[in-house]
Amino acid sequence: MPKHRILVIDDEPLMREYVEEAMVRAGHGVDMAGGGEEGVAVFDAKRHDVVITDLRMTPMDGLEVLRRVLAIDPAALVIIMTAYGTIETAVAALKQGAADYLLKPFAPDAVEVAVSRALERSRLAAENRFLRDELRAGQAGTLVGDSAPMREVFAQIKRVADSRATVLIRGETGTGKELAAQAIHQTGARRDKPFIKVNCAALSAGILESELFGHERGAFTGAHERKIGRFELADGGSLMLDEVSEIGVELQSKLLRALQEREFERVGGTQTIPVDTRIIATSNRDLEKAVEKGVFREDLFFRLHVITITLPPLRERREDIPALMDHFLARSNRENGRNVRGFTEETRKLFLDYEWPGNVRELQNAVERAVVLSTDAMLTPEHFQLNASPASRQDNGLVPGMTVAEAEKRLILRTLAHCGDNRTRAAAMLGISVRTLRNKLKEYGMQHRFSDAV
């Protein structure tokens, strides 16, 4: 078996045979053509790994051969042979996509070196493309869903991806806001630049400010080193401001300026730093109400609100439920080395009827948990704890005689448990701010028990 298939195009028989001999000696299989027209036709039929063509030929010259071959296969490797006087044309050929050129006269070894270099480079390029695609797929996960509302979301993502306009993604907890933010970044022109996240709800105001904008050495006690903020780290790429509603009013004005002017100063710094950072903000809270109450700046709201993508709750797109079930089943099987085959009809019906207050995240957790714990081939309703209808769950744990404060405490603790102790999510589900939740936990003397897992 020849190593690679090479096509040699030259109108001079002696030159053609010289290159042929070198290639055959290197173990390649060779086809030959005495002119451009014939060469392009042979390539079209057989798609050689490498085309080596003379530059100066009539009527079709090497540049035209290059163009036609690339039109047939944009990834084709074309090496141009050229004499000293035409080196500028050879450079032009490189710009138009030639893999390399050979300056005549050349030794047989030089042809082999050029060919293997071209092949190696294209292999690396393909490998990089593959790794990058795989990385992208792995990081972002796929937004599953084919319902009309999800198709509209996909269309919006595509429409905004290439601009650098600020995007606000809204939706209840667990509807896929973070996945959508990643999809915007990875679909757009900035995909090879950084995608940086910051959870605005998880950090106190002071720490959040220096996380976002960085600080100079000595800016405050403990600032031993200069720190580059996430706005700067995301330069050229995208910055996701998760739970943007939780930013304190003071920091909101600094954020507004950074959005408007695309520049800011580090904490304790005087130097103005220009950035080209695309902002993708998410919120699961009623921002309009926050504006009304004066806890969220109206001008910042308008600045963020220009392009808004709203992810619909799962109960409003139940037709996506079967596909999501299958998606998470396959993934949980793969990740846990399980081989659960599917869901019984009853289970499918249960899933379709359930309200899913925690949306896709709740469905995902339910499936993952069942896959890990089940020893059966099929998942039945008994593998899940969704059986209770929303009405019967409401009075769960509530008894007459109990104070409202006690009921509130039970609800808060149960919601926290439901959210895997994640305060941000629990607060969202409860419809209160993280700060309020934190204060409640302090009241119960339980402030240390719950993480702020991001």
Ligand X SMILES: Nc1ncnc2c1ncn2[C@@H]1O[C@H](COP(=O)(O)OP(=O)(O)OP(=O)(O)O)[C@@H](O)[C@H]1O
The binding site for Mg ion (CB under 5 A) comprises: 178
Q: Which stretch binds ligand X (CB under 6 A): 55-63, 143-151, 233-241, 263-271?
A: 143-151
Q: Using an 8 Å Cβ cutoff, are 273 and 257 in contact?
A: no
36 binds ligand X (CB under 6 A): no
174 binds ligand X (CB under 6 A): yes
CB atoms within 10 A of CB 284: 25
For residue 355, give the nearest of 328, 394, 329, 396 by alpha carbon: 394
Question: In whole angstroms, how close is the CB of 164 to ligand X at the nearest point?
Answer: 22
Give 42's contacts (C-beta < 8 A, 6+ positions apart): 7, 31, 33
Q: Which does 360 bind (CB under 5 to 8 A by kind): ligand X, Mg ion, none?
A: ligand X
Question: In whole angstroms, how close is the CB of 424 to Mg ion at the nearest point?
Answer: 8
* DSSP codes of every residue in 304-318: H-SEEEEEPPGGG-G
Q: Which stretch binds ligand X (CB under 6 A): 93-101, 124-132, 177-185, 269-277?
A: 177-185
Q: Using an 8 Å Cβ cutoff, are 242 and 201 in contact?
A: yes
**Residue of closest CB approach to ligand X:** 176
For ligand X, the closer CB: 48 or 177: 177
**What is the Cα–Cα distance from 267 to 67, expressed in whole angstroms?**
54
Query: Look-up: residue for tokens 């081939």?
Result: 377
The residue within the footprint of ligand X, chosen from 185, 361, 423, 440 (CB under 6 A), is 361
Cβ-in-10-Å burial (0-12, 13-18, 19+) of 80 comes to: buried
Q: Which does 174 bind (CB under 5 to 8 A by kind): Mg ion, ligand X, none?
A: ligand X
For ligand X, the closer CB: 28 or 425: 425
The residue within the footprint of ligand X, chosen from 39, 145, 214, 229 (CB under 6 A), is 145
Give me the torsion for CA of 248, 249, 255, 260, rounded to 10°.
160
Question: In whole angstroms, how close is the CB of 160 to ligand X at the nearest point?
Answer: 17
244 binds ligand X (CB under 6 A): no
Question: In whole angstroms, how close is the CB of 211 to ligand X at the nearest point?
Answer: 18
366 binds ligand X (CB under 6 A): no
Give 353's contacts (C-beta < 8 A, 6+ positions apart): none
Tally the C-alpha atoms within 13 A of residue 63's C-alpha that lie toward its C-beta. Answer: 12
The residue within the footprint of ligand X, chosen from 35, 97, 108, 141 (CB under 6 A), is 141
**What is the Cα–Cα distance from 272 to 201, expressed in whole angstroms?**
27
313 binds ligand X (CB under 6 A): no
Q: Using an 8 Å Cβ cutoff, are 340 and 377 in contact?
A: yes
The DSSP letter of residue 84 is G
Question: In whole angstroms, how close is the CB of 407 to ligand X at the nearest point?
Answer: 24
Q: Which stretch binds ligand X (CB under 6 A): 26-34, 98-106, 139-147, 434-442?
A: 139-147
**Residue of closest CB approach to Mg ion:** 178
Q: Which does 62 bind (CB under 5 to 8 A by kind): Mg ion, ligand X, none?
A: none
Question: In whole angstroms, how close is the CB of 227 to Mg ion at the nearest point?
Answer: 25
Binding-residue total with ligand X (CB under 6 A)? 19
The residue within the footprint of ligand X, chosen from 425, 433, 434, 441 (CB under 6 A), is 425
The helix (run of H) or strand (run of E) holding residue 440 is helix 434-443
Give whole-number Cα distances, 381 to 133, 366, 388, in Å: 37, 11, 11
178 binds ligand X (CB under 6 A): yes
Binding site for ligand X (CB under 6 A): 141, 143-145, 171, 173-179, 282, 284, 360-361, 364, 425, 428
